[in-house]
Amino acid sequence: MCRGDDANCPHFEEHYKTFREDLDHERRGFLRSSFAAAGGLAAIGAGGLSLVTPELARASAKRQPTTRSSHYLPANSDTVHWGYFSKTLKPQVEVESGDIITIETLTHHAGDDLERMVQGDEGAESVYLWTKDEKGVDRRGAGPTDPAVYKKGSGEGQGVHILTGPVYVRGAEPGDVLEVRIIDCTPRPCANPEFTGKAYGSNAAANWGFHYNDFLDGNTREVITIYELDLVSGNNWAEAVYNFKWVPQVDPYGVEHKTIDYPGVPVDHSTTTRNYDVLKGVRLPIRPHFGTLGLAPAEADYVDTIPPNYTGGNIDNWRIGKGAVMYYPVSVDGALLSVGDPHASQGDSELCGTAIECSLTGTFQLILHKKEDLAGTPLEQLNYPMLETKDDWLVHGFSFANYLEELGPNAQSDIYSKSSVDLALRDAFHKMRHFLMTTKGLTEDEAISLITIGCDFGITQVVDGNWGVHAIVKKDIFSGMA
Amino acid sequence: MCRGDDANCPHFEEHYKTFREDLDHERRGFLRSSFAAAGGLAAIGAGGLSLVTPELARASAKRQPTTRSSHYLPANSDTVHWGYFSKTLKPQVEVESGDIITIETLTHHAGDDLERMVQGDEGAESVYLWTKDEKGVDRRGAGPTDPAVYKKGSGEGQGVHILTGPVYVRGAEPGDVLEVRIIDCTPRPCANPEFTGKAYGSNAAANWGFHYNDFLDGNTREVITIYELDLVSGNNWAEAVYNFKWVPQVDPYGVEHKTIDYPGVPVDHSTTTRNYDVLKGVRLPIRPHFGTLGLAPAEADYVDTIPPNYTGGNIDNWRIGKGAVMYYPVSVDGALLSVGDPHASQGDSELCGTAIECSLTGTFQLILHKKEDLAGTPLEQLNYPMLETKDDWLVHGFSFANYLEELGPNAQSDIYSKSSVDLALRDAFHKMRHFLMTTKGLTEDEAISLITIGCDFGITQVVDGNWGVHAIVKKDIFSGMA
């Protein structure tokens, strides 16, 4: 069926309009559903303005096959890669532009409470499998994998997120733009019968947090809080279950982890003290979203998942949830989309280092826009990851727009000591100026005045190596334009 | 009539509830009115939670006289002070706690288009009067007033905002908290018959803007855009009328201003080139608010209005509009409230240096909370300016929480070279942690997790010497608390 993406359809334009209206309808239904406070702020289409002009939609549709396919990519030890993006990875699935794909994602913090986040869940169990003899997923990070070199574990935890994928988009080439529509985004129910109808997540106030060297007593500590989502009651908030202070953990290979320095270390709760008297009555609004969603960059073979970059990745903007649309510049053949770092909720800044890290399943439609069709459209020259929600456009500024290129051969380590919010604000300003000038044809002076009066700059995160500031502009602002 | 502030009233509690509901009703009416997109996002009371406990409200009410008075403070050359806060100023009016006061405020950018922002307006004309022999308001800024010393003009423009006041609140002493309820906030209509039914504002992309040394062509320029508000049509947006590049202006005393370096210099448009082809069709949502609202600090006799500080002042948060409530620590006897820097609209960051600078009139209710009554309440230990809106609480972080104290004798000049967003984020984190721990009785670990999951940090401004980051927490989050 034509969803406004079948160029052979005689009713293309009508269907394209219907598609966008349907998504909006879907969104409204979603708002009435159990996760009202969720990504629900964001949805496609209302207001009628889009980064994709009808002409570009038609051109992109023309390049698609006449039938749409749906795909399902589960998360298990065969389908995930842990801690890195890589252009060298074998794709898990190949899709055509326009296809729909449902992708399971797993949080990399499930080791904080295996009982609630792994036990009974076949996929998660295969990924988290770790005995003295065997590890479901050995490499975790872009670091060394040679046991003679590493100290923390294979990959060294230089990159921490479990990513599902990559997804190969046929025909995608460097210079193209991949549009990723997030059609759905739901928490993964706990598979342990003891906790039926719930989902769980972990918030680690960790050593990389902005608060870490700034405790009131002058000491440091890492504290993990486990949160519960009630999937049955329809509550749109999460509540804390308990918290505990990290104490050194010895992993199944015998390595001691004095701090949280390697992902997926199974926490032995016989060594911790769990405090159940925590945040009583506090209801944290749910905003399910993908912390990490993006494409493999061309610059290096193995890229730490932590710092976000021009092809997206770990942007950690809570608005990248249901109803949102991301636009990414394609850097390698096939685009190689991976997704993970699922979050039940997060605030702008992600101050303590993590969100409510909670497994989610997403449904995406991937639309390829070829370089040849972009001239004169708002997506021309897009060299940064861009977000469209129902009401807003957002650009994402980073301390370094393309740190892999800008920081040279040691970029992947240097990035951790060079970031500031000031730099990220500077980059967000540059990107919003570029967006307004290319998309709306404004002069530089017009753009600067509009940015000052009409754009809100927020602090996306200050914990991902390459710090982030986003700039939001309301679509309504342009409603009087011809 | 008792508005929930008359302790002698037998129906005190009922009236207090009614007062807050009325304000909410008022807000809803306002949302339907001509400035829907305005400060209308913020209003008092819904949700039932407040920083002022019923017990504190009762205690504060008990200290008030039995009758409420209303006051009106127009803006003219006798009632304004230009560019500085000062504990040495003679109050313009004395009020009792609980009184209502309407205060006119004038923008300090009216010189950019005298025809639209001054001409025919008696109050503005008296303030802007400047001939070769005479100046309506001589001192403009906290700098030297000795003609033998200054180069730019009296006060040196070290501080730029026209402030109306101060208002002396009887009984206010250091250690108390002043609650300022913004009951109304409306644009000042243009008094020139040629532009009946309009209001005007100026946005100066100025030399102190974050963009200034970062133009695409590598050069610098200052560009002013004049915006129009249509008060008759009910439009909730502003539109650009024209822009012009600043060219050197010679003021009536013969001093040349090559850049925008002294407030209120009358622009001679026979020397400028006005471009009317600007931002066509762009509709900038109106968010009327007071950029500068606060109390005189004790630390110095003359304090530049530009950097915000612990007693408020030039916070430049667009949420400080109709329906908002500010809480300030009182620093000097009488509190000495002044208000100015009126804005029709601004985005978070105020990137280019100014908002749509547009004269407004505000109506305020001032409630004094005595130090003796604060123990055990959320306002205990409040040593920073706090904002309450209908849905949220906000703390304001600055690069330096109290720069006058922290930076020593040269604080007022040093502050301009020492700020960063990173520092302001740090301060906002400290304040939000303090707020959650004192107001909600959370532990530090609980507060840090909540801040990370449930608070959004935004960039208030990066152009006021002492840069600002605000943290927002939704009241709903606490709705499950006993």
Q: Do B477 and A285 touch (CB under 8 A)?
A: yes
Cβ within 8 Å, pair B281-A455: no
DSSP characters over B256-277:
EESSS-STTPPP-TTSS--B--
**Quick check: A281 contacting B, CB < 8 Å?**
yes
Both tokens of B400, joined, read 């330096």
Q: Which residues lie closer than 8 Å to A45 by C-beta, 6 or more apart?
A: A20, A21, A23, A24, A390
Q: Name the strand (E) or helix (H) holding B370.
A: none
Per-residue pLDDT, B448: 98
Cβ separation A211–B448 shorter than 8 A = yes
- Residues B147-182: pLDDT tens digits? 999 999 999 999 999 999 999 999 999 999 999 999
**Contact check, Cβ <8 Å, A223/B449:** yes
Q: Residue A480: its chain B contacts at CB < 8 A?
A: 239, 281-283
B420 and A CB contact within 8 Å: yes
Predicted local confidence at residue A47, as pLDDT: 36
Res. B59 pLDDT band, cuts 50 70 90: very high
For residues A324 and A387, the answer to whether their CB atoms sit within 8 Å is: yes
| Angle, helix A421-439 to helix A444-454, in steps of 10 degrees | 120
Distance of CA A221 to the CA centre of its chain: 27
pLDDT of A440: 83
Contact A284 B455 (CB under 8 A): no
> Is A213 in the B-facing interface, judged by CB distances under 8 Å?
no
* Rounded Cα gap, residues A262 and A285, in angstroms: 29
Instruction: Specify the 3-state DSSP secondary structure of A447.
Output: helix
Interval A252-272: pLDDT, tens = 999 999 999 999 999 999 999
- What chain A residue is nearest to B349 in terms of C-alpha separation? A457
Q: What pLDDT does residue B376 have?
A: 83
Beta carbons of B214 and A426 less than 8 Å apart:
yes
Q: Do A349 and B243 touch (CB under 8 A)?
A: no
User: What pLDDT does B380 receive?
Assistant: 86
The answer, for B91 touching chain A at a CB cutoff of 8 Å, is no
Q: At residue B104, what are phi and psi to the nearest 5 degrees? A: -80, 140
Residue A46 burial class via C-beta count within 10 angstroms: exposed 0-12, middle 13-18, buried 19 and up: middle
* Nearest residue, CB atoms, A283 vs list B238, B444, B477: B477
Provide mean pLDDT across the span B399-426.
97
Smallest Cα distance from A451 to chain B, Å: 7
Average pLDDT for residues B199-213, to the nearest whole number?
Answer: 98
Q: Is A349 close to B456, i.e. CB distance below 8 A?
A: yes
**A239 DSSP β-pair partners:** A228
- Residue A148 near chain B (CB below 8 Å): no
Burial letters A310-321, b for 16+ CB under 10 A, else e: bbbbbbbbbbbb
Q: Is A469 on the interface with B (CB under 8 A)?
A: yes
Interface membership of B36 toward A (CB under 8 Å): no
To the nearest 10°, report the CA torsion of A200, A206, A210, A214. 120
**Chain A: residue nearest B463 by CA?**
A452
Closest by Cβ to A444, choosing from B215, B346, B462:
B215
pLDDT of residue B52: 87
Q: Does residue B451 sit at the A interface (CB-CB below 8 Å)?
A: yes
Output the CA angle B306-B309-B311, nearest 5 degrees.
115
pLDDT band at B481 (very low <50, low <70, confident <90, very high): confident
Higher pLDDT pick, B106 / A14? B106
ipTM, 2 dp: 0.91
For residue B7, CA distances in Å to B374, B375, B386, B448 come to 17, 19, 26, 38
Would you call B284 and A454 a contact, using CB atoms and an 8 Å cutoff?
yes
The answer to whether residue A282 neighbours chain B at the CB level (below 8 Å) is yes
- Write the DSSP string, B160-191: --EEEEEEEETT--TT-EEEEEEEEEEEPPP-
Q: Is the pLDDT of residue A339 over 50?
A: yes
Give whole-number Cα distances, B82 to A72, A235, B114, B142, B204, in Å. Answer: 66, 52, 18, 9, 18
Q: Which of residues 283-342 of B touch A (CB under 8 A)?
A: 283-285
Q: pLDDT tens, B317-337?
A: 999 999 999 999 999 999 999
Answer yes or no: do A455 and B425 touch at CB < 8 A.
no
Indicate the pLDDT class of residue A464, thresholds 50, 70 and 90.
Answer: very high
Q: Please state the rounded mean pLDDT for residues B308-322.
A: 98
Mutate to test the interface with B, among A449, A473, A476 (most CBs of B within 10 A): A449
Say what the pLDDT of residue A481 is: 84
pLDDT at residue B43 greater than cutoff 50:
no
Region A134-158 average pLDDT: 97
* Residues A285-302 pLDDT 10s: 999 999 999 999 999 999
3-state secondary structure of A258: coil
- Å between A449 CA and nearest CA of chain B: 7
Residue of B nearest to A354 (CA): B452
Q: Is A236 on the interface with B (CB under 8 A)?
A: no
Q: What angle do CA B17, B20, B26 make, to 5 degrees?
A: 135
**Which residues from chain B sit within 8 angstroms of residue A354, using beta carbons?**
452
3-state secondary structure of B74: coil
Q: Which residue in B202, B210, B449 has the most chain A C-beta atoms within 10 A of its own C-beta, making it the best mutation to test that interface?
A: B449
Q: Is A1 on the interface with B (CB under 8 A)?
A: no
User: Is there a contact between B452 and A478 if contact means CB atoms under 8 Å apart?
Assistant: no
C-beta atoms of B458 and A462 within 8 A: no
Q: What is the pLDDT of residue B378?
A: 81
Instruction: Please indicate if any CB of chain A lies within 8 Å of the CB of B476.
Output: yes
- Chain B residues in contact with A420 by the CB 8 A cut-off are 420-422
Contact by Cβ (8 Å): A347, B429: no
- Cβ-defined contact of A477 to B351 (cutoff 8 Å): no
User: Do the chains contact at B279 and A442, CB–CB below 8 Å?
Assistant: yes
- The mean pLDDT value of chain A amounts to 91
Contact state of B422 with A426 under an 8 Å Cβ cutoff: no
Q: Give pLDDT, residue B14.
A: 66
β A386-388/A392-398 pair status = antiparallel
From A106's Cα to the closest Cα of chain B, the distance in A is 19
Pairing of strands B93-95, B162-169: parallel
The mean predicted confidence, pLDDT, of chain B is: 91
Chain A contact present for B425, CB below 8 A: yes
pLDDT (tens digit, 9 = 90+) per residue, A203-246?
Answer: 999 999 999 999 999 999 999 999 999 999 989 999 999 999 99
CA dist., res. A152 & res. A55, Å (int): 52
pLDDT of residue B470: 98
Q: B481: nearest CA in chain A?
A: A281
Q: Does A439 touch chain B (CB under 8 A)?
A: no
Helix (H) or strand (E) holding B348: none
Across the interface, do B281 and A422 touch by the CB < 8 Å criterion? no
Subunit contact B453:A284, Cβ cutoff 8 A: yes
State whether residue B205 sits within 8 Å of chain A by CB. yes
SS3 B443: coil
Across the interface, do B347 and A457 touch by the CB < 8 Å criterion?
Answer: yes
Q: Do B282 and A477 touch (CB under 8 A)?
A: yes
- Chain B residues 340-379 with a CB less than 8 Å from chain A: 345-356
What pLDDT digit, counting tens, does each position of A3-30 carry?
555 555 666 566 655 655 554 444 333 3
- Dist CA B25 CA B41 (whole Å): 13
Contacts of B285 in chain A (CB under 8 A): 454, 474, 476-477
With beta carbons less than 8 A apart as the criterion, state whether A85 and A296 touch.
yes
Q: Which residue in A214, A281, A430 is closest to B480 by CB distance?
A: A281
Closest partner residue to A348 (CB to CB) among B225, B430, B458 is B458
Q: Which of chain A's residues have a Cβ under 8 Å away from the Cβ of B351?
A: 429, 448, 451-452, 455, 457
d(CA B82, CA B75): 12
